[in-house]
Structure 1
Amino acid sequence: MSSSSAAGLRKLCSFAQSPRLTKLSLHPPKAVEVEFSDGSSFNLSAEFLRVYSPAVDSKIRSVGGEKVIFGRRHVGVMSAESVGNYGIRISFDDLHKTGIYTWDYFYHLGSNKFTLMRSYIQTLKKHGLSRDPQRKK
């Protein structure tokens, strides 16, 4: 087995070990709350979910080779629809709606929320960008 195949298998196995989703609640426009069978519960803001959308999106700006989403502090969740029995597609009020958030991805985001948010803010600072939307001219 090649090292990339082994890495892919490890990734699949680690996802397979994620606790089962037991509850998902939308709190439009500002958050989604998820609870898992291991007792963990995460309240994930719309901004956080939008920034860490699993979709490739044309509204991402490439800055110094890094893909950076900025100006989404006030983005809202408009709705969500089920995708099979493994995730949801969230529609945001900035018209982004192509990412599918799997239960495993929600668990990853919730488990790493503070580290991911800190990294996001550091990336914005590094490139002189803001969480706040740009003002219309």
Structure 2
Amino acid sequence: MSGLTPDTPHPLEIRLLTESRRLEISFDDGARFSLPAEYLRVYSPSAEVRGHGAGQEVLQVGKRQVAITALEPVGHYALKIVFDDGHDSGLFSWDYLYRLGADYDRNWQDYLDRLARAGASRE
């Protein structure tokens, strides 16, 4: 899952904004992202969310109010994000966080479309 290379952008600053339930990340290539907790939760790289192979993804519903309760660095390559719904098994590598930020608009619309097709809700 991790595609870390010497050219992978690395975070310079990671800030948890608890009031707005967002994670702000500034990378060493100048990119800066502000990612909602709900977005990070529904795109967690954990097996619980992604499944164990293509087509086994589990649609996450009812996560609109989810918050991040803790951030734990993992070596020099990832961040473990602990959510208030008890989910804490995904390791967000620097390259995955970067892709989540860069592809936010497309990913978020895809998530909303999948919810609509399933007749499910963010609530």
SS of the residue corresponding to residue 58 of structure 2 reads strand
- The structure-2 alpha-carbon separation of the partners of 1:66 and 1:82, relative to structure 1 and needing over 3 Å to count, comes to closer
Instruction: For structure 1, list consecutive stretches of 5 or more residues without a partner in the other structure.
Output: 1-7, 133-137
CA contact (8 A) 1:28 1:79 kept: no
CA contact (8 A) 1:90 1:100 kept: yes
**1:115 counterpart letter in structure 2:** R
Q: Matched residues in 2 for 1:120 and 1:76: separation?
A: 18
Hey, what does 1:102 align to over in structure 2?
Answer: 93
Matches within 5 A, 1:28-107: 28=18, 30-57=21-48, 67-107=58-98
- The structure-2 alpha-carbon separation of the partners of 1:106 and 1:124, relative to structure 1 and needing over 3 Å to count, comes to same
What per-residue deviation string (whole Å, max 9, x for no partner) do you get for residues 24-76 of structure 1? 11112611111111211000000000000000227x8xxx9652111100000
**1:95 counterpart letter in structure 2:** G
Q: Matched residues in 1 for 2:13 and 2:110: separation?
A: 28
Hey, what does 1:127 align to over in structure 2?
Answer: 118
| Superposed CA RMSD | 2.2
Instruction: For structure 2, list consecutive stretches of 5 or more residues without a partner in the other structure.
Output: none
Report sequence identity in percent: 36
Tell me how many residue pairs correspond in the alignment.
117
CA contact (8 A) 1:72 1:131 kept: yes
Q: Matched residues in 2 for 1:65 and 1:82: separation?
A: 28
- Structure with the greater alpha carbon radius of gyration: 1
TM-score normalised by structure 1 residue count: 0.77
TM-score normalised by structure 2 residue count: 0.86
